[in-house]
Structure 1
Amino acid sequence: MTTAKDLFITAMDRGPERAVGQGDLSLALAGAELVDLVGAGAVTVEDDRIVPGGSPAPDDRLLAEALALLTSRPPRERIEDWLWRRGRDLSAAYQTALEEDGELERKHGGLLSFGPERVEPVDTPARRRAADRWEEGEPVLVSLASAVGVGDGDGDGDERDGGEPDPGDDAVTVVVAAVHDAVMELEAVRQRRTIESAAFANVWRGP
């Protein structure tokens, strides 16, 4: 399993009562992919830009797809720009992949909903490994999950004192920070649209 798949399962298992936003999760999944590509030596990070590292992607279809989408020639792409480009509908792609792998099943109940049906994790070794990473407080998974509101007042009794965990690697830290920035930017866009919609409605209602 990859960090992105572990993140998806963690979001379902330990997400807040309100569903995790698909846009937020998609950005975090793109960041998780980049973290694994950095770890595999397939890419490196210079300042805030992604540079091919020469090593092949890990043996995972979605990671290989992510690597193929990276810009191979200068100018190098900014991490945040790539998160937005790669993150488009990425949560749906991971849902499909995990269903195909037998890691998810469709039900009429669950924490995350993508359409009229809901999906839930199946009790598999992969799900238990994801749970183990979470329980151990693995810094990268915890940091990415916190970007989408998982583990932040979710009521699961898991206290994580001491602030945001340190992923340790400088490149990974830059990626995780970019994910948090992108999610905050997405929330700002949502709020602006809500305000604009309310203002438009008030104009039509009149004094």
Structure 2
Amino acid sequence: MTTARDLLFVAMDMPSTRPLERGDLSLALAGAELIDLLGPGVVTLDGEFVLPTGRTASADPQLDLALAAVAPVADGETVEDWLWRRGRGLSDAYLAALEADGLLGREERRRFLVLRTSRMVLADSPGRRRAAHRWAADEPVLLALAAVIGISGPPPVPEPPAGPVSTILTAVRHAVEELTAERHRRARRLDEARQTYVRRGF
């Protein structure tokens, strides 16, 4: 299991202080992948730049894909740029992987007499229990990533020591803040457009 998958379990199991946006989750998942790649020395950071070391990744398919997404040394790429590129649609990819592994299914519900609806539910699994254990143990990296997307454990969230992990967490926070600001700008433009249409009689 990986930090990214543990984060996804936590995101689906724990209440959040704001609506959980898939874009925010995708960026946090990308950050979790990068932290997991740092651990065995598959990638390294040169300041804010992500560099491959030439080592192979683990047997985890998602981490293999994450490593393949790291730019060659000659090109260079900042942590934040990598988060944006790797994070595009990443939450959907992880959800699809959970469903393919039988860890996520649809619970059928009947509304009224004829309407059927369904919602995604997590199956009980060792991975889900492991994520819950890490959460209960106040594991700093998992708590910090969850806090960025609005899921808070017992305050205060412990900060990891300064270093590459801290650099990645800071980049995830900046990217999520930027995405949140862009959503607010779009909502404001839509609201202004609606008001304009109303004034013109449409």
User: What is the TM-score of this pair, normalised by structure 2?
Assistant: 0.90
Could you give the per-residue CA deviations for residues 141-196 of structure 1, whole angstroms, max 9, x where no partner exists?
Answer: 00000111011xxxxxx5223xx422236101100110011001000000000111
Aligned pairs (5 A) from 1:40-189? 40-108=40-108, 117-151=118-152, 158-161=153-156, 164-168=157-161, 170-189=163-182
The one-letter amino acid paired with 1:186 is: L
Identity of aligned residues (%): 45
The one-letter amino acid paired with 1:101 is: D
- Counterparts of 1:117 and 1:83, CA distance in 2: 32
Equivalent residue, structure 2, for 1:7:
7
Could you give the per-residue CA deviations for residues 4-28 of structure 1, whole angstroms, max 9, x where no partner exists?
Answer: 0000000001032764111010000
- Counterparts of 2:101 and 2:82, CA distance in 1: 27
| Matched positions, count | 193
3-state DSSP class of the match of 1:32?
A: helix
- Counterparts of 1:85 and 1:76, CA distance in 2: 13
- Counterparts of 2:8 and 2:119, CA distance in 1: 14
3-state DSSP class of the match of 2:55?
A: coil
Between structure 1 and structure 2, the one with the greater Rg is 2
- Counterparts of 1:118 and 1:48, CA distance in 2: 40
* Structure 1 residues 135 and 8, CA gap change in structure 2 (3 angstroms): same
Query: Is the counterpart of residue 199 in structure 1 residue 192 in structure 2?
Result: yes
The one-letter amino acid paired with 2:150 is: G
Deviates more, 1:72-81 or 1:88-97: 72-81
User: What is the TM-score of this pair, normalised by structure 1?
Assistant: 0.87
The one-letter amino acid paired with 1:69 is: A
Q: Over aligned residues, Cα RMSD in angstroms?
A: 1.7
- Counterparts of 2:71 and 2:179, CA distance in 1: 24
3-state DSSP class of the match of 1:150?
A: coil
Structure 2: stretches of 5+ with no match in the other structure: 110-116
Structure 1: stretches of 5+ with no match in the other structure: 110-115, 152-157
Could you give the per-residue CA deviations for residues 26-48 of structure 1, whole angstroms, max 9, x where no partner exists?
Answer: 00000000000011211001111
- Counterparts of 1:5 and 1:65, CA distance in 2: 14
* Structure 1 residues 5 and 47, CA gap change in structure 2 (3 angstroms): same
For the 8 Å contact 1:41–1:54, the answer to whether it is kept is no
